Amino acid sequence: MFTLQMKKIVLACALLFCAVSAFADEGMWMINTIDRVLEKRMKAAGLKLDAKVLYDEEQESLSDAVVALAFGCTGSMISNDGLMITNHHCAYSDIHALSTLGHNYLEDGFWAMRRDEELPVKGQAIYFLKKIFDVTDEVTALRQEFDAEHKPMAMRRVYKQIEEKYAQVYEGQGELICSSYYNGNKYYMALYQVYRDVRLVAAPPVSVASFGGDTDNWEWPQHKGDFAIYRIYTAPDGSPAEYAPENVPMHPRKILKITQEGLKDGDFTMVIGYPGRTNRYASSYAVEEILQIQNPIQAQFRLDQMKIIDKWMNEDVALRLKYADRYFSLSNVQEIREGEIYCYNRFGVVDAKRTEEQQLQKWLGNSDLIFRLGQKYEDVAGINQQIVYFQETLVRGTNLHRYANALFRGDTVLANKELEKLDMRVERDLMRYALGQFFKHVRPAYWGEYLTGLHQRFGGDVDAMLNEVFDGHVHDALTSCKIVAFNEKRDEIEAGVSKNSLEKEYKNAVYRMKLARKQPMYPDANSTMRITYGKVCPLEPRDAVSLASRTRTAGVLEKYNADDYEFTLKPDFRELLLQHPDVPVNFLTNNDITGGNSGSPVLNAKGELVGLAFDGNKESLAGDTYFVESMNRCICVDIRYVLWLLRDYAHMDELLTEIL
């Protein structure tokens, strides 16, 4: 990671007559490569455990209790009978799939009082890391061999071959995944035990789990009960198995101890999880492309699509349930893209990257790599913008692709199943918007035969074109314009030297420079297990604004608005809050996280579970490419709020006995 100039941030705590350091130790460190230097830094920050307790292939360790939910979110084991806790928003799609109008678990919540009431979840997979080992030399040799033979898709073949080799070595012990680190300078193989009989146990209603909705998303303060609990089942002999009534709860190797002591400002915290993707070593030109081309289009188009869906959701309760998952996904990405634009501009990320590139240029000497990289981004800017417009309109602007493709293949059974998931009134409005934006922004040279003829026949009248499309030509409209046309044009412009290849060369130069200077480095996130450490601390997001590090149930009542869906409460829950205004709800740390960390356990200095990571603040949204130390925050649900909800709201006394 590029070195940032350290600035000491001292936050005065007048009531406590003390000061708390707000340093965030940047880095999503590989948990299997914690060296003495990193361990020493963590202990200096407050860790009271040895590194062996965090990760150990031979003996049980904290990492054994942390799992990946199909590498989209993180969870942790909290009982010897297979209970696993994560975020509600990680379970959202599962809860949505299980819900009906008669049993709307999103709106009403779900509480299994007995094990025979737990609901099987289709398609979920829980990954336990068993071991991870270095295969760099083997992968490099294979890569060179395939490159010399000019075999297509060389890296895909390399991964397949190396994974098949070790699958024989570890036959019957789990699934193997090889991953690239440090931009292909290192490769590690991970062995996972995978469980697929997963059942929903507990989930609060969205009015609790997502209180504040989109308005509070990426903001602070928040008051969300963002948790859900699953139970993992195995075959009677303890081995992983598909769902079967005779399966039994699994007995994990390690569970996390829950503490109800709570934390105060300055207390040590660490997060273990599976962060998805970061691009911290990206060039200034890559960030500029995101800022100027990609994000403005994605943020605006998603916002407009949300408005279309929201209008229908507000008119029809059944349609709200049908499109809840789609709207949820749109909203999260839209706010991220908008927040990235804000942060890149506010914190001058492009200029900061260019300052770092000046240092790299000095180290490179006479190399013209950085100049050529900048020139290449300039050359392909126009075609890349066209690709984004195409992807945001006809590729993902509606939900009709699977339905249209099934009809085209003559598979009416599958088409009808896909149609059941959709409302054609909504899809028609989305298609109207997609067609209008496509013809407005994408050049005619890329329209394809059908769309060109459509536009000519109706003189660009969007409503007239829409009528024909919905009269049996949905597939034609969605496939007339093909990504291959854009790629061919980009290849022509790049003239044999691609932007991506130069960006890779740039990142390799950064890697070599840091190695030469013996600077600590962590690889970009890639959905493998990482550990970060930091502290509980408040936030000063703007001049003269200071925000405390913790929220209470009193804040839920303060935000309550019966006329606003995002801030409404069920009457019984509101009555309960009136009786308990001082329950801890959410808290802030400065741990370094990103997407995929959702649901990650937040642990104290002794490795005890104190909360779940579920969000970041708006001011930290440059984080995928640049870490702003003074502003980075991780928003966590306090485990005491989870326990209180289970006890006082859901009355799940038996479950609490099992957990505690």
Q: What is the CA radius of gyration of the chain?
A: 26
Dump pLDDT digits (tens) for 110-156. Answer: 999 999 999 999 999 999 999 999 999 999 999 888 888 777 777 88
Contact criterion met (CB below 8 Å) for 607 and 50: no
Instruction: Check whether residue 168 and residue 23 sit in a common domain.
Output: no
Instruction: Check whether residue 652 and residue 566 sit in a common domain.
Output: yes
Q: What is the pLDDT of residue 150?
A: 75
- In the three-class reduction of DSSP (H, G, I as helix; E, B as strand; rest coil), residue 178 is classed as strand
Burial string for 64-90 (b: 16+ CB within 10 Å, else e) reads bbbbbbebbbbbbbbbebbbbbbbbbb
Report yes or no on 461 lying in a domain: no
Report yes or no on 168 lying in a domain: yes
Structure tokens at 274: 């599976």
For the domain that residue 106 is a member of, what is the CATH number?
A: 2.40.10.120
Dump pLDDT digits (tens) for 165-175. Answer: 999 999 999 99
Residues 324-335 have a mean pLDDT of: 92
Q: Of 195, 212, 240, which residue is a domain's last?
A: 195
Structural domain span for residue 159: 126-195
Instruction: Check whether residue 214 and residue 105 sit in a common domain.
Output: yes
Checking if the pLDDT of 437 tops 90, the result is: yes
Q: Of 174, 195, 216, which residue is a domain's last?
A: 195
Instruction: Check whether residue 187 and residue 200 sit in a common domain.
Output: no
Measured in whole angstroms, how far is the alpha carbon of residue 594 from the centre of its chain? 6
Residue 44 phi, psi (nearest 5): -65, -30
Dump pLDDT digits (tens) for 84-99. Answer: 999 999 999 999 999 9
Q: What is the pLDDT of residue 23?
A: 40
Instruction: Check whether residue 556 and residue 649 sit in a common domain.
Output: yes
Report yes or no on 306 lying in a domain: no
Structure tokens at 260: 């109800």
Q: How many residues does the chain have?
A: 660
Instruction: Check whether residue 172 and residue 51 sit in a common domain.
Output: no
Report yes or no on 393 lying in a domain: no
Diameter of the chain by CA atoms?
75
Report yes or no on 392 lying in a domain: no
Report yes or no on 209 lying in a domain: yes
Report yes or no on 402 lying in a domain: no
Q: What is the pLDDT of residue 2?
A: 32
Instruction: Check whether residue 142 and residue 252 sit in a common domain.
Output: no
- Quick one: 351 exposed, middle or buried, by C-beta within 10 A (0-12, 13-18, 19+)? exposed
Contact criterion met (CB below 8 Å) for 444 and 452: yes
One-letter amino acid for residue 478 of the chain:
L
Q: What is the pLDDT of residue 533?
A: 97
Residue 196 phi, psi (nearest 5): -120, -5
Instruction: Check whether residue 40 and residue 189 sit in a common domain.
Output: no
Instruction: Check whether residue 136 and residue 116 sit in a common domain.
Output: no
CA torsion 37-42-47-50 (nearest 10°) is -30
Q: Of 180, 195, 210, which residue is a domain's last?
A: 195
Structure tokens at 643: 């326990």
* CA atoms of 300 and 207, how far apart (whole Å): 27
Checking if the pLDDT of 402 tops 60, the result is: yes
Instruction: Check whether residue 112 and residue 243 sit in a common domain.
Output: yes
Other beta carbons within 10 angstroms of residue 580's beta carbon come to: 13
Region of poorest pLDDT, from 145-154, 263-272, 353-362, 499-508:
145-154
Checking if the pLDDT of 16 tops 80, the result is: no
Query: Greater confidence, 569 or 411?
Result: 569
Dump pLDDT digits (tens) for 184-228. Answer: 999 999 999 999 999 999 999 999 999 999 999 999 999 999 999
Q: What is the pTM of this model?
A: 0.92
Structural domains of the chain, count:
2
Crossing angle for the helix pair 449-458 and 462-469, to the nearest 10 degrees? 130
Calculate the average pLDDT of the chain.
93
Checking if the pLDDT of 252 tops 60, the result is: yes
Confidence of residue 286 (pLDDT cuts 50, 70, 90): very high
Checking if the pLDDT of 7 tops 60, the result is: no
Report yes or no on 395 lying in a domain: no
* CA atoms of 241 and 234, how far apart (whole Å): 6
Instruction: Check whether residue 200 and residue 156 sit in a common domain.
Output: no
Instruction: Check whether residue 157 and residue 212 sit in a common domain.
Output: no
Confidence of residue 20 (pLDDT cuts 50, 70, 90): very low
Crossing angle for the helix pair 295-315 and 369-390, to the nearest 10 degrees? 20
Contact criterion met (CB below 8 Å) for 394 and 477: yes
